[in-house]
Chains A and B, each alone.
Chain A
């Protein structure tokens, strides 16, 4: 049976009038919310999950709050996982306004310029965010109802968005609206970078002498060491005995001596000293040496000032003799409080033919002076580790940089001490004094407290015979 042709089920003009009235009503009695679409960065097609997302666009739209008496949902509840705020809200937005002013722009967001992906841009989408300014809250759309009211005059005019408070993991929220982005300033896993702004060049001097150990021949690198052995040289007649340390290496679970670094080449030897090895748990190591006599070489390098801000061992340059072989040195850096300093300079090659004390030049640390101010939400990158992270806060006085979403760099998660941390937007650059991967802000996590207290009571002296745990 066909419908009665004398009764219209909704003329287009009536439908347009209704839509206009609804739009007008929403603009008078609604709340201006911000619609934030989700971009997919990483998806898992086995578990059918979006692993990584970012929210970096925003669209204002008026919305009517259906539940005028407050949020629905279970409210603030204490769970075994801490505080969980289960506020929900139902919002009504104009279908026409969304389709005219948001959907076309959303469709243009996936322009292939980055690794993110936008899917389904013609309607409000479950998973997108709504910033509700009255409560300063981020709601996630969990369901879009498009048929309520049901085809009035033959058409639907609104979307009803059923929203729940967002559960944050490591999503990037960078809408460029400060009021929104800073809502998650203290949320999630936030770690601490202690930076140093001022680097200082290390200073060292050289001492020359004759009758020094010129070259060491490692005849047998030994085996079975558990730590570096003590290397002893027979006494020098001039009471300036050679001192050296062993650098160990492990191959196929066998630890042996890789090389011997000379701290002091000694002086006054008339015959090559004997070299003996003790301790370290290994056997078989043997070495001999030659001496340089009749001419002067650099017997030791004395570090006068270790400098500040050395993340990697700087190059050491010892000036050349007028006629002879130029000496070379190898530096070793280590922590000193919050700074990284040059601890030793080993004599790699004492050279020969020095008639006067040469000058020693140690290269500058990576960053002499920290510059700039890191910006909220900008990406920073470690110069050596390649690790990236997102800035949460920066205190220029204490030089504490709080970051989240720390990535995995060239080797492990986190940053190397001494490397330069460069803000990718601000250009700010400082050197890392230390990186602390403990959560700086989470008032839920007790992991660090457990670890601290457990250190007092758990006995780790018994190792696991089946391997390292």
Chain B
């Protein structure tokens, strides 16, 4: 029924935008005198992945000497929900430009994408260093401007809302289990879903013409004046070394062009026929 293929990669772009916000977080360690010893950039990745790829990429040598390197962050999309609070008219459209052509775009549908950012560290102090580099920027939101549909350059503000933070520290119990220190931050990205981008017959208005009459009854009244405005080329489109009327027809939306105003005065009772393009 829907039938028109389109894929704007909006969810993918939202995931990339989310990931890049947290891709430069560092952790530092000091010695007992307080001197900074080591600065470590905390790696981040999108958690879900193909299992075989994870195995052959992250464990190329089967005899891997260690369990895992820490600290690490991972995130994943956890939900996609409609956001009725941002609803707009479903039949409303706006015009956009795809290169030189006008496109008709239906208003996007507001969807909230839930994200979960997880922080795994060996030390509580590492967790807190990471956390303190994140939290001040979320009050509780941080807004990114993302080019969601790049074919029409549709940039939208996507607020990332920090909904809550939880953590688990399994330090109690016997010594058979590891201490796992995981912070979990839940976010909502207020994104938009765009439908297919349709061609439109709308184009550049090249000529506007208005006839003025001395009375409202144009059958009996005299025609007094004609006012005409035409778009005028500013460059030689057809490379014939002159800029003339032939170039005017080649102006495209988005070009830099001028206007020519023409006024004609009459004393007749004729009317302009748009189909025959003459006065009759």
Q: Is the CB of B76 within 8 A of A52?
A: no
Q: How far is the CB of B180 from chain A (nearest CB, A)?
A: 10
A125 touches B (CB below 8 Å): no
With A80-B74, A83-B54, A457-B146 already in contact, the answer to whether A41 and B32 are too (CB < 8 A) is yes
Q: How far is the CB of B177 from chain A (nearest CB, A)?
A: 9
B70 touches A (CB below 8 Å): yes
Note all chain A residues with C-beta closer than 8 A to B235. none
Q: How far is the CB of B16 from chain A (nearest CB, A)?
A: 5
Q: Is the CB of B178 within 8 A of A142?
A: yes
The secondary structure that dominates the B interface is mixed
Q: Is the CB of A164 within 8 A of B67?
A: yes
Note all chain B residues with C-beta closer than 8 A to A83. 54-55, 58-59, 64, 68
A448 touches B (CB below 8 Å): yes
Q: How far is the CA of A138 from the CA of B63 in the complex (A)?
A: 10
A451 touches B (CB below 8 Å): yes
Q: Is the CB of B46 within 8 A of A51?
A: no
Note all chain B residues with C-beta closer than 8 A to A461. 145
Q: Is the CB of B58 within 8 A of A444?
A: yes
Q: In chain A, what residue has the closest Cβ to B13? A: A457
Q: Please pick, from B20, B59, B63, B68, the residue contacting A137 in the complex, using a CB distance under 8 A.
A: B63
Q: Please pick, from A164, A187, A445, the residue contacting B45 in the complex, using a CB distance under 8 A.
A: A445
Q: Is the CB of A187 within 8 A of B69?
A: yes
Q: Is the CB of B39 within 8 A of A84?
A: no
B122 touches A (CB below 8 Å): yes
Interface locus among A147-155, A225-233, A260-268, A404-412: A404-412
Q: Please pick, from A52, A82, A439, the residue contacting B68 in the complex, using a CB distance under 8 A.
A: A82
A274 touches B (CB below 8 Å): no
* Interface size of A in residues (CB-CB distance below 8 Å): 69
Q: Please pick, from B30, B43, B49, B150, the residue contacting A447 in the complex, using a CB distance under 8 A.
A: B43
With A85-B68, A115-B31, A450-B19 already in contact, the answer to whether A135 and B123 are too (CB < 8 A) is no
Q: Is the CB of A82 within 8 A of B58?
A: yes
Which residues of B come within 8 Å of A, CB atoms?
Answer: 13, 16-17, 19-20, 22-24, 26, 28-33, 36-41, 43-49, 51, 54-55, 57-59, 63-72, 74, 76, 118, 120, 122-126, 137, 144-148, 150, 155, 174-176, 178
Write 18 A-B pairs (CB below 8 A) sorted by A numbering.
A49-B123, A51-B29, A137-B66, A143-B175, A162-B176, A168-B70, A170-B29, A170-B38, A405-B38, A413-B39, A444-B69, A445-B43, A446-B19, A447-B23, A447-B44, A453-B16, A454-B20, A459-B145
Known: A444-B45, A457-B147. 19 other contacts (CB 8 A): A41-B32, A44-B125, A83-B55, A84-B67, A117-B32, A164-B178, A165-B67, A189-B69, A405-B37, A413-B26, A444-B69, A446-B45, A451-B24, A454-B16, A456-B147, A457-B148, A458-B17, A458-B144, A459-B147
What are the nearest 5 A-B pairs in CB distance?
A445-B43, A447-B23, A143-B175, A183-B65, A454-B20
